[in-house]
Amino acid sequence: MLGRHFYIILFFLILSCRGEEIKTVVPKDINVVGHEQPTSIVAGEIAQFSFEVKGKGNPYLLLHQGLGPMILQPRLDNNKLVFTLEKMYTRQAGLYEWELINNSQVVLSGNLKVLPKQELTTKIETYFGPRSIRAGGDDFSMLFMVPTDVYDNPLPDGTSVIIKRQMDNAQDSIQGELKNGYLWHNLFSSNYAGRMLVSATVNQISSKELTSMIAPSNSVNFQIDYKRVHDYADGNQVIEFITDEIQDRFGNTVADGTLVNFQVTDQDGARLLTAGSTLAGIATGKLLHPTKASNWKVTAYVTGESKSNETQLQFKPAVKDYEVSFLHDNRLIEVGPIHGFMEQLVPDGLLITLKLFNDKGELVDTKLTNSSKGKASFELEELFYENGLYTLQIETAGLQKEFKVALGTNELE
Amino acid sequence: MKGTNVLLVVALFIGLAFHGSSIFFTLEYTYDALIHLFFADHYANSWFEPWDYRWYTGFTVQGYPPLVHQLIGILSYIGGLKFGLFTVGLLAILLYVTGAYRFGLLMTGDKKVAGYTAILAVFSSTFIETLHIFGQLPSISALSILMHSLTEIYLWLKTGKRVYLFTSLSLIAVTVTSHHVTPIFGMVFFIFPLIGMVVMDVSRDKVNSYKELRFKVFWNSFRQLFWRIVSFGFFSLILIVTCILPYWINSKKNPITQVPIPHGSRDNFLEVTSSGLVFFMIPWGILLFLIPYLFYRFYSKRYLFFGLSMTMLTILGTGGTTPVPLMLLGETAFNILTLDRFTLWATIMALPIFGEFAFRMVEGDIKEKIQRRLGSVYHRILGGFIAGGVLFMVIFTMSLGYFRPSQPAKIKMLPIVNFLNQDQHDRWRYLPLGFGDQMAWLSAQTKAMTVDGNYHSARRLPELTTRAIERLENSKFRGVEGIGSLQQFLTVPEKYNLKYIFSNDKFYDPLLYFCGWQRLQQLENGIMVWEKLNVPPMPAILPKDDVPKWSKIMWGVIPILTVLVAFFINVQMLWYRVLKSKKLPLPDYFKYRVTYKGFPGFMIVINHIWAVIVLICLAFGMYKFYIHNASQRSPENVLTAYYNALDFKEFETAHSFLDKEKEVPIAQYMLEVSVTDGILSSYAKLDAMDITISEETEFGAKAIVDTDWVTPLERVKKIYHHDLVKRNGNWFIMPSYLDTDIPPDQLFSSNDTKFYNHGRRRITTQQTYHEDVLKQPVLEVLTAKLVKYNGQYSVIGEIQNVDNIPSDVVIKATLYNDANKELANYDAKYHMKHKLMPMESTSFKINFEGIAWSQTKDTIPPTFNPDEFTPVELEEQPTKFNLQCAGNVANTDLYKGLTVQSLHIGEQQIDGELYNSGIQEVTIPLLLISYYDENKELIWVDHQFVKDGVRVQRKQPFQYNLLNVDDVSTINSSLKNCFVNGLPNESIAEKVIPDRNQTHQWDQLQPLKGNSFDFVKLELNSYIGNPK
């Protein structure tokens, strides 16, 4: 390590010694007698620096600009040193510092201001966000813009900007001025849901169209109703719960897809649940009719924001009574025909439960079946159920019947 | 001996024609070939860079000797990767047949016998299996070259001519660079016995007959040859070490931490008969009948050492059938090595003796003896039997891959490759599911990276090394453990920058859905693409384990160099030998040719007895197989057969077990089966079954069937009750009752709000335009708590989508101790609804599981069972938590048609019915149950998958057993460190719903006085298997 440092130091020493030599051996000095140079140009123009000098030397012009330093070599014109800064080098607006340097010494220095080419404003860079806000006037989207000239230079402070806005079937415009090259403006929502379109104009140049959605505000309490074919608890028809058009406090319909929970409390206090998402403000929830007489209380919620009235409805029993017959030494149990509310056979699929208790009162088996053409049957085969006394509980449509049966005989209690 | 060996030419001709043409139909479907292809692709693209980012979040290819891969890689410049693969395959066949010939020649000193050996080698079932079913190209190449080298080693040891030392070493070097295990074990099992044989031959020269050859003579000869042996051993050891030095350094630096992955070759072949077939019966094939002859010849004095080696190999090859291999190899080696290679070597070693047998049988003394003793007809029949046996094994082995394909059907990769190249999709990792070994072929075609891989010794992620699974891609075959490992990747995908999943197996779909993934599109080749929102792209600079430059250069240069050197050293001899351009002196081993005369009669008897024993064993095996299939002999049998038939979806078979007298027509039965959907009927694999016969009379029985299913989500136990009857000596199952429920409406309508997201509206190769980026939906955390239950920590809470657009929700919780030290973090898995409509809320629970393995490396649980969950081994007590929630616009999986139709609240359980009121069939309903105390404060969140699906306008009963939440203790309950989309939850709560009505939440709770809780809340999430 030490060795390496030593070599590096030695190398620099040698270099610096050489520099010293040149200075002392060939001294050159110049004096500037007169000079002429622009102090401010517009981006994309040529800048000429001319210096009348006396003395001998190799002067050059060092230019500091945003992209880095740049060296210009002179051209001799009528004993004047002329430096030309071509137009492709003046595209970037800003402050350029120049130094006339001879012999590593600054002879003369000054500034050149390059201004943005305002008359050729071509583009307005814009950002607008958030892309959706809520109605009510508290929420806003911010428009941010940077208008630029043809060379992508931001325009000077004070340049006037017109922001145009289309909202609620009306247009308005807002005046503004650039500061630090840009402008931002908060555009607040109104009380109406919809869409806000904005654009900006600078020097007759317009930005693209930008948009922010104004979504409805929080919903307010609403009403619900229900629709059903009949009021019997047949366990087959569908009941629909429907909200009216859910709105926010300004009368805007809530956003499509807003979830509404319909909470149904039955006579036993069990909370059934259905849900619907709104379409044009209306949500629909569906449930099947219960299988036995019931008393339902229904309330709908947009949780946290709003709720509906409570609506009550009753279901009458669809089946009043049914027959049970025992065949084949009581081993075949036929239930039905089960008749519905207008003496029709009940729709297929009514659940019938048979609970079989032995003579000690222990549950032996639970059998399930569905009604088909109004009837259902259970078979208690000898293979599985020995002869003896059993208690049978049959339940369907909320109606329970109990029988004491001796399997293997015709006896029935 | 004169002229070209016609038998060898025939063997080469048939070998190349038969194997050379069939590899085009088999090699791509083998287990290994495509892995080698992937490695080859790596070398073709970056020869000197051993790091490959594409698998396992980066791994080094220095974990496998590179020669074969590099050869394929070089050849791929001519005609693509597959051209390289097949060319190397052809080369391997060529080397194998000639190697077998030279090995036969060395062993017997008889060109004719060697010719027979070569022909039998072509038809050897072990070779067919290794090449056409396993696709182990490096192993075959290395073994073939090892066989070539044996002659050279023999000649060096015998003659001491230095040229043979060079030739033998050059070939050893090639062997080493193609496969590392072959030379190491080849040393022990092939070269040691060879040395023994040389010493024996030298001793034989000193005496007049083998009878006079005593140990003393042998010892003297050994001392005489000692330095040749040592020099050869020394130099080959140096070669083994230096030629693949980077491999050894890598194995030292990255020791294989992988827990043993079960391999069929370690099974007990008598118990797992399929393994016995593949790893014992097929490789041995017809040789099984000749075992007495093989050992008789191998235990003659000259071959004695080969005999010992053969015995060892045979025993080691039996895997777990006997405890000997485990004792010999020790626990570690036994679990790392695949033992089928020992059988491979044993059967290859047996080839010369088999060739000798064939020669003697066809035109030698055995033929004479049999003809004389048992007549020439019997000899012909016997010959026909053996030839037929060989042919049968060839056809059987070749067809195995056709009838029992080891791979899913060939997948067209182009649509996937295009998808990955589009729209910067390769900036995220992907994961193929259900691709089999074809995943390697996909990886070879794209620059995109996956977290999975197909060379498990190279794994680095602890999530993978601690699992005994081959690949994530086929994790379902590893049961719950495999699924558990996959779940980790699916739950926390952002950790691995995993965004896309290509699913070729719908089994995984429910898991993906409930972990919060969504379907993106179906590609032209039928592969479903799933994506996960809110996963950041991979950083531009990925970490890698760099190796020194010299190591890279060695790895890139030496293997090919060994081939060139071996070629130049051996080419001259080859030239002379093949083209007979120069008369070569007869090699030494020709001296030890035996004249086949006077085959001992007792061997014929013994071998016949043995053959009869083998035949009896086979017949017994077949009988057992038949009896096992006699399904209606007992109630247990018929139930087992019924459930197996259901498991494999063989409904017609299942129907045949139902009682004919209670006739359910097959058409009716098929209809019923086809309309049932749900986790059990569509996504489960029957894992175990326990049948209890509760009452059995002569003609009837009642059975309780306790089934255990592996589903993608969790292990499911379900108890079924059946009545059985016996009719005409056969048992039948009584059909269960039929659900005759009919929905009210034939046709009905439903209105739904649908959402569409354009993605990028402007097509650009740059970043998405500002206006095309949607605002993240705003969520609000309503409650969040850190709780401890049964010794494990969970973060529970409720979150609501308070925006006007549907949202996908990702929740990540981090635990801290008092000193704000991070202890663990994890995402919500399926204890939440991942997709929320505007104003919808969900309860959530986050369990901390993955961290256990990444932090405490030594307490890794051996198996993962989602039900018996291993809690995190936290070093310190967590006291705080941080919740990061992110919303992203969702437009799929927003089905809300599932409702709670009825509810009966018992003391210990809730019974109820779900009703599907919408127009999509719900395949798997999920119940989320939240428990609240008397102040309506959330205590705990639980879940239950309902086992059956809910069809449209139909009901499905469910049952839920209430928990005892007495010992849930709340550690921290604060919304302070909850953030939504990076903003504090508090500021959102104030802004969006400033006047939130808390009672709405409370009103919707179900009052239920239970064990230390007073209210519950039911929420529903529905997975739709086939969205319409």
Give the closest residue to B1011 by CA, choosing from B969, B941, B963: B963
The distance of A197 to chain B (nearest Cα, Å) reads: 13
Residue A327 C-alpha from the chain's centroid = 67
The tokens for A88 are: 């492709």
Stretch 307-336 of chain A: residues touching chain B, C-beta under 8 Å: 307
The verdict on A292 touching B (C-beta cutoff 8 Å) is no
- Shared domain check, A362 and A382: yes
- Choose from A241, A260, A277 for mutation: most chain B CBs within 10 A: A277
- How far does A191 lie from chain B, in Å, by closest CA? 15
- Average pLDDT score over residue span B297-312: 91
A380 in the same domain as A341:
yes
pLDDT tens by residue, A178-217:
999 899 999 999 999 999 999 999 888 888 899 999 999 9
For the beta carbon of residue B721, count every other beta carbon within 10 angstroms: 12
Which of B80-94, B481-495, B532-546 has the least mean pLDDT?
B481-495
Put simply, whether A247 touches B (Cβ < 8 Å) is no
Residue B559 in this model has a pLDDT that exceeds 50: yes
Nearest to A303 among B773, B1000, B1020 (CB): B1000
| A344 domain-assigned | yes
| CA nearest to B811, candidates B487, B414, B491, B396 | B491
CA–CA dist B417, B523 (Å, integer): 11
Question: How distant, in Å, are the alpha carbons of B425, B431, B438, B511, B716 from that of B416?
Answer: 11, 11, 12, 22, 34
Q: Which of A109-118, B113-122, B814-823 ranks highest by mean pLDDT?
A: B113-122
pLDDT at A341: 85
pLDDT at B122: 94
For residues A33 and A31, give the distance between their C-alpha atoms in angstroms, rounded to a whole number. Answer: 6
For residues A377-383, give the mean pLDDT.
78
Give SS3 for B816: strand
Instruction: Look at residues A317, A334, A354 and tell me which one is the last residue of a structural domain.
Output: A317
In terms of pLDDT, which residue wins out, B505 or B809? B809
Model pLDDT, residue B154:
92
What does DSSP assign to residue B620?
H
Burial of A190 (0-12, 13-18, 19+ CB in 10 A): middle
pLDDT at B1028: 81
> Residue B3: its pLDDT value, please?
56
Cα atoms in the Cβ-side hemisphere of radius 13 Å centred on B57 = 19
Q: Residue with structure tokens 């008969």?
A: B273
Quote the tokens at residue B648: 């494999």
Residue A8, in any domain of the structure: no
Q: What is the CATH number of the domain that holds A258?
A: 2.60.40.10
- Range with the lowest mean pLDDT among A376-380, B281-285, B948-952, B954-958? A376-380
- In this structure, are A274 and A236 located in the same domain? yes
**Which of B:6-65 have CB within 8 Å of A?**
none
Query: Residue B750: what pLDDT?
Result: 86
Clarify whether residues A104 and A124 are in a common domain: no
The predicted pLDDT at position A8 comes to 66
**Rounded percentage of chain B residues whose pLDDT exceeds 70:** 95
For residue B466, pLDDT beyond 90:
no
Residue A10 lies in a domain: no
Closest by Cα among B682, B681, B663 to B720: B681
Provide the pLDDT for residue B866: 42
**Range of the structural domain that residue A160 is part of:** 119-215
The Cα–Cα gap between B945 and B958 comes to 9
Q: Which residues from A are below 8 Å from B742, CB to CB? A: 236, 347-349
Does residue B654 have a pLDDT over 50? yes
Instruction: Tell me which residue in A259, A278, A286 faces B917 most closely, judged by beta carbons.
Output: A286
Rounded to whole angstroms, the Cα distance separating B483 from B494 reads: 19
Chain A nearest-CA residue for B904: A270
Average pLDDT for B428-433: 93
For the stretch B522-552, pLDDT in tens is 999 999 999 999 999 999 888 888 899 999 9
Question: Per-residue pLDDT for B192 more than 70?
Answer: yes
**Considering chain A, what is the average pLDDT of its residues?**
86
Q: Does B917 touch chain A (CB under 8 A)?
A: yes
What are the φ/ψ torsions at residue B401 (nearest 5 degrees)? -65, -20
Q: For residue A199, give both structure tokens.
A: 């654009």
Q: What is the per-residue pLDDT for B524?
A: 92
Please provide residue B599's backbone torsions phi and psi, each rounded to the nearest 5 degrees. -65, 130
Residue A11 lies inside a defined structural domain of this protein:
no
Domain count for chain A, please give it: 4
pLDDT attached to residue B864: 40
Task: Note whether A129 and A198 are same-domain residues.
Answer: yes
B802 touches chain A (CB under 8 A): yes
Contact B853, B462 (CB under 8 A): yes
Residue B891's Cβ-count burial label (10 Å; 0-12, 13-18, 19+) is middle
Check if A163 contacts B (Cβ < 8 Å).
no
Nearest chain A residue (CA) to B992: A218
**pLDDT single digits (tens) B332-375:** 788 878 888 899 999 999 999 999 999 999 988 888 888 888 88
Q: A30 and A79 share a domain?
A: yes
Closest by Cβ to A255, choosing from B838, B840, B904: B838
What are residue B1027's phi and psi, to 5 degrees?
Answer: -65, 135
Residue B978 in this model has a pLDDT that exceeds 90: yes
- pLDDT at residue A340 greater than cutoff 50: yes
- Compute φ and ψ for A124, nearest 5 degrees: -120, 115
Q: What chain B residue is nearest to A211 in terms of C-alpha separation?
A: B771
CA distance A133 to chain B (A): 10
Is residue B948 within 8 A of residue B917, CB to CB? The reply is no
Interface membership of A301 toward B (CB under 8 Å): yes
Residues from chain B that touch A276, judged by Cβ atoms under 8 A, are 896
Residue A4 in any domain: the answer is: no
Q: What is the pLDDT of residue B469?
A: 73
Q: State the SS3 of chain A.
A: CHHHHHHHHHHHHHHHHHHHHHHHHCCCCEEEEEEECCCEEECCCCEEEEEEEEECCCCEEEEEECCEEEEECCEEECCEEEEEECHHHCCCCEEEEEEEEECCEEEEEEEEEEECCHHHEEEEEEEEECCEEECCCCCEEEEEEEEEECCCCECCCCCEEEEEEEECCEEEEEEEECECCEEEEEEECCCCCEEEEEEEEECCEECCCEEEEEECCCECCECEEEECCCCEECCCCEEEEEECCCEECCCCECCCCCEEEEEEECCCCCEEEEEEECECCECEEEEECCCCCEEEEEEEEECCCEEECCEEEEEEECCCCCCEEEECCCCEEEECCCECCCCCECCCCCEEEEEEEECCCCEEEEEEEECECCEEEEECCCCCCCCEEEEEEEEECCEEEEEEEEECCCCEC
Interaxial angle between packed helices B111-122 and B6-26, expressed in degrees from 0 to 180 and rounded to the nearest 10: 10
Mean pLDDT calculated for residue range B32-42: 93
Which residue on chain A is closest to B910 by alpha carbon?
A270
Do A244 and A189 share a domain, yes or no? no
What is the reported pLDDT for B870? 52
Q: Does residue A3 form part of some domain?
A: no
| Residues A110 and A125 placed together within one structural domain of the fold | no
Are A35 and A108 within one domain? Answer: yes
CB < 8 Å from A in window 987-1006 of B: 992-993, 995-998, 1000-1001, 1003-1006
Examine residue A130 and say whether the peptide bond preceding it is cis (omega within 30 degrees of 0): yes
Residues A266 and A335 in one domain: no
Which of B737, B839, B903 minimises the CB distance to A303?
B839
* Residue pair B159/B205 in contact by the 8 Å Cβ criterion: no
Question: Residue B175 has what pLDDT?
Answer: 92
In whole angstroms, give the CA distance from residue A84 to residue A63. Answer: 11
Cβ within 8 Å, pair B997-A305: yes
Examine the domain organization and report whether A232 and A194 are in the same domain.
Answer: no
pLDDT of res. A20? 43
Sheet with A284-288, strands from edge to edge, namely: A224-227, A238-243, A284-288
B782 touches B978 (CB < 8 A): no
Q: How do residues B588-642 score in pLDDT, each as one tens digit? A: 888 888 888 878 888 888 989 999 999 998 898 888 777 766 667 778 888 888 8
- Summarised one tens digit per residue, pLDDT across range B855-899 is 333 333 444 444 444 555 666 788 899 999 999 999 989 999 999
Report pLDDT for B868.
42
Residues 827-886 of B with CB under 8 A from A: 836-841
Residue A338 located in a structural domain:
yes
Size of interface A-B (CB pairs under 8 A): 173
* Class of residue B640 by CB neighbours under 10 A (exposed 0-12, middle 13-18, buried 19+): middle
Q: Which helix (H) or strand (E) segment is B781 a member of?
A: strand B779-789
Mean pLDDT confidence for B819-833? 89
A-chain residues within 8 Å CB-CB of B770?
127, 129
Q: Which of A210, A266, A279 sits opposite B751 (nearest CB)?
A: A279
Question: What DSSP state is assigned to residue B798?
Answer: E
Torsions phi, psi for B866 (to 5 deg): -60, -25
* Cα distances (Å, whole numbers) of residue B276 to A197, A325, B318, B646: 75, 61, 8, 27
Which of A246-250, B95-99, B103-107, B461-465 is the least confident region?
B461-465
**Residue A3: per-residue pLDDT:** 58
Q: What percent of chain B has pLDDT over 90?
A: 45
Per-residue pLDDT band at A4 (split at 50, 70, 90): low
For A130-186, write each residue's pLDDT tens digit. Answer: 888 999 988 999 999 999 888 888 888 888 999 999 998 899 999 999 999 899 999
Give the nearest partner residue to A301 out of B740, B741, B1004, using CB atoms.
Answer: B1004
pLDDT recorded at residue B578? 73
- The mean pLDDT of chain B is 86
Q: What is residue B908's predicted lDDT score, i.e. its pLDDT?
A: 85
In this predicted structure, which of B4-18, B390-404, B726-740 has the lowest mean pLDDT? B726-740
Question: Could you say which of A92, A115, A138 is where a domain stops?
Answer: A115
pLDDT for res B430: 94
Is A349 at the interface with chain B, CB within 8 A? yes
- Quick check: B905 and A270 CB within 8 A? yes
Q: How sure is the predictor about A22, in pLDDT bands with cuts at 50, 70 and 90?
A: very low
Per-residue pLDDT, A15? 54
Residue A359 lies in a domain: yes
Question: Among A115, A139, A162, which residue terminates a domain?
Answer: A115
Helices B304-316 and B340-349 pack at an angle, to 10 degrees, of 150
The verdict on pTM exceeding 0.90 is: no
Q: State how far the Cα of B417 lies from the Cα of B411, in Å rounded to an integer.
A: 12
Chain A: nearest CA to B839, how far in angstroms?
6
The 10 Å Cβ neighbour count of residue A87 is 13
How far does CA B667 lie from the centroid of its chain? 38
CA distance B1028 to B1022: 14
What pLDDT shows up at residue B675?
67
| Least confident segment among A272-286, A306-320, B83-97, B709-723 | B709-723
Name the residue among B118, B614, B15, B31 with its Cα closest to residue B340.
B31
The verdict on A376 and A392 lying in the same domain is yes
pLDDT of A193 reads 92
